[in-house]
């Protein structure tokens, strides 16, 4: 394997690959034998939301599932938490094994971005809005690594959580625009009992921030309920819940169409929220049905 690390074989049939060519040979052979290949891209620090992605991937008849574990430095800004991002490789592999995953891809940074690497995927105008306005370069880095994973694994189906809805939207657009032969499945957000969206960054929350974070899902619910009163009421209802929680610093509350274009006057929409609880930045979103037209939107 040209000096690359050999695959690590774990119990119950799980194999950990760090070399792209090694994994590529395996998935090519699987497809040649008539198996379908499903992919769950992650940055590790796996939680119940990732379990649901794995279960959905494993539910595809006649398929073999690949889970990638790679903390991608190119989607972290200079002031963001790349070094602090939680890493739990052994626990992550164990969760994959528990869920019946057959293949884990865990490359290092130099493998994914060797010396001289200079190519990047341009996310287009949407990449500079919402999360992109707060995190310049984030979506270019995200799309670049996802594109590389698609090239290495060549999956038939790839699964992404709806919690990162802008990410999901941009990946779908990239696949469509670049004619990539993979079906993208968005999986509904997995939540704690009190409504908080599962996220690896929840581990950063202190007690005050954890209590305050409940207001985010409550704000989404308020916005959904206000859909009968028009789009401006949706945003106002959500913002009112958030601003009542003093421990939250609200970054944005926006209502967009399902493709994250302009706010719709009526019909299906997506309500998106970003807020900070102390030093921890949280995002969430929910589908909203806007029943009544209204002018004078604010957000």
Catalytic annotation, residues: 50
DSSP bridge partners of 63 = 36
Residue 259 vs residues 90, 129, 158, 165: alpha-carbon distances, Å: 37, 13, 19, 10
Q: Hey, what are 77's tokens?
A: 């800004």
As a whole number of Å, the end-to-end CA separation of the chain is 55
Helix (H) or strand (E) holding 275: strand 267-277
| Helix, strand, coil percentages in the chain from 3-state DSSP, rounded to 5 | 40, 20, 35
186, 162 in Cβ contact below 8 A? yes
Residue 87: how many other CB atoms lie within 10 Å: 14
55, 79 in Cβ contact below 8 A? no
Output Rg (C-alpha) for the chain, integer angstroms: 20
Distance CA 257, CA 124 (A): 17
Distance CA 38, CA 31 (A): 11
Residue carrying structure tokens 């499945």: 185
Among 98, 95, 71, 93, which Cα is nearest to 17's?
93
Q: Is 74 helix (H, G, I), strand (E, B) or coil?
A: helix
Among 70, 77, 68, which Cα is nearest to 138's?
77
């Amino acid at each position: 394997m040209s000096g690359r690390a050999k695959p690590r074989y774990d119990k119950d049939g799980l194999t950990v690959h760090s070399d792209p060519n090694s994994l590529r040979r395996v998935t090519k052979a699987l497809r040649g034998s008539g198996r379908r290949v499903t992919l769950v891209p992650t940055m590790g620090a796996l939680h119940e939301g990732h379990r649901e992605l794995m279960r959905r991937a494993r539910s595809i008849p006649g398929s073999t599932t690949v889970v990638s574990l790679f903390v991608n430095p190119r989607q972290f800004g200079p002031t963001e938490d790349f070094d602090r991002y939680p890493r739990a490789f052994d626990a992550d592999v164990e969760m994959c094994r528990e869920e019946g995953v057959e293949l884990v891809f865990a490359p290092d940074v130099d493998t994914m971005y060797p010396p001289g690497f200079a190519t990047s995927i341009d996310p287009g105008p949407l990449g500079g809005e919402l999360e992109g306005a707060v995190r310049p370069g984030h979506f270019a880095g995200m799309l670049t690594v996802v594109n590389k994973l698609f090239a290495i694994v060549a999956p038939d189906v790839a699964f992404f959580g709806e919690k990162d809805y802008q990410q999901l939207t941009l990946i779908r657009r990239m696949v469509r625009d670049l004619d990539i032969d993979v079906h993208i499945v968005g999986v509904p957000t997995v939540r704690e009992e009190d409504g908080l969206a599962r996220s690896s960054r929840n581990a950063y929350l202190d007690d005050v921030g954890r209590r305050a974070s409940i207001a985010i899902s409550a704000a989404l619910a308020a916005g959904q309920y206000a859909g009968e009163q028009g789009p401006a009421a949706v945003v106002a209802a959500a913002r009112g819940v958030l601003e009542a929680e003093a421990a939250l610093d609200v970054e944005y509350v926006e209502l967009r169409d399902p493709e994250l274009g302009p706010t719709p006057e009526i019909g299906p929409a997506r309500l998106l929220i970003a807020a900070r609880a102390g030093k921890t930045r949280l995002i969430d979103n929910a589908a909203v049905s806007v029943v009544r037209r209204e002018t004078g939107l604010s957000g």
